[in-house]
Amino acid sequence: MKKSLILLITFLATITSRSWPQAALVFLTDFGLKDGAVACMKGVAFGVDPNLKMFDVTHEIPSYNIWEAGYQLKQTAPYWPPGTVFVAVVDPGVGTERKSIVAKTKTGHYFVTPDNGTLTFIAEDLGLAEVRQIDENVNRLAGSEKSYTFHGRDVYAYTGARLAAGVIMFEQVGPALEPQVVMIPYEKARFENGVVHGNIPILDAQYGNIWTNIDAATFKQLGIEYGAMVSVQIKNEGRVVFVGKMPYVRTFGEAPVGRPLLYLNSLLNVSFAINQGNFAKAHGISSGPGWQVKIEK
């Protein structure tokens, strides 16, 4: 009896002292997978807590493309449960005066990232509840103090893992800042004087379809029905890149093969495609804050 009691007490002490993961840890970078950079980050996280559950959004963000990193977070984050910790590292200003932060959204998600515009869409869509600057005197991998070019490993992965594992609370990240972040300016979706305006935030890379930020409700203000033709103009930094007409359809097969069409994508935003073709390649179109769209009857 006495031996059984001792074993029970030992077991309870073990599970009480063990650091159990409280949230998923999700990584996004522009590092690619050709070398060990991502593995280094995950190794640091594993060292914080080997029970952490780690996942990836992508590591194939084009080099230095803060805008696309932000949009991938916009697409992905709402489908993860509150408490999820995202470590997002696209950091062309690594080692400079840009702040290293953890942002908590009004939905209860956490984002560990340089404050360089990466959270533009997250701030707009999920809202910012609190922002804290990472105190590197506490939340930095031991022995990395003389490393200035790999904050993804030394600061962000380490801090994100500690937060996700419950080693630190959000309040222990560092000093509180104003609940705001660096924002990238771009053309917002709007209806004005019979014309719908918007931006091209990203391409459907596999097929070359053009995804805009024009939501179905804004587009509906044109009064267009399925099958009707619309006029589309696309500019980049003020230069006209494409002008043409196309039908508004439910799906690709409603337009002839090789012909352009307008449809609502899986996010219910206006998009352009060529049936069984590549719209972006055919017309030299890309994405980013400088790309603008106009649609009218």
pLDDT of 165-207, one tens digit each? 999 999 999 999 999 999 999 999 999 999 999 999 999 988 9
For position 152, what pLDDT does the model report? 85
* Residues forming CATH 3.40.50.10790 domain(s) in the chain: 14-177
CA dihedral sign, ordered 61, 65, 66, 68: negative
- pLDDT of residue 19 exceeding 50: no
For position 22, what pLDDT does the model report? 67
Q: What percent of the chain has pLDDT over 70?
A: 93
For position 253, what pLDDT does the model report? 93
* Span of 15-24, 52-61, 219-228 with lowest mean pLDDT: 15-24
- Please provide the CATH number assigned to the domain covering 190-296: 2.40.30.90
For position 171, what pLDDT does the model report? 97
Look at the domain 14-177 and name its fold.
Rossmann fold (3.40.50)
- pLDDT of residue 158 exceeding 80: yes
Integer CA distances (angstroms), 36 to 59, 111, 156, 198, 247, in order: 12, 23, 16, 39, 47
Mean of the per-residue pLDDT values for the chain?
A: 91
Mean pLDDT of 226-244: 97
- pLDDT of residue 94 exceeding 90: no
* Residues forming CATH 2.40.30.90 domain(s) in the chain: 190-296
Q: Which residues pair with 129 in a beta bridge?
A: none
For position 147, what pLDDT does the model report? 77
CA dihedral sign, ordered 103, 201, 222, 237: positive
Per residue in 262-293, pLDDT (tens digit) is: 999 998 999 999 999 999 999 999 999 999 99
Give the helix/strand (H/E) hosting 76. Answer: helix 66-76
Residues in contact with 7: Cβ distance below 8 Å, sequence separation at least 6, in sequence order: none
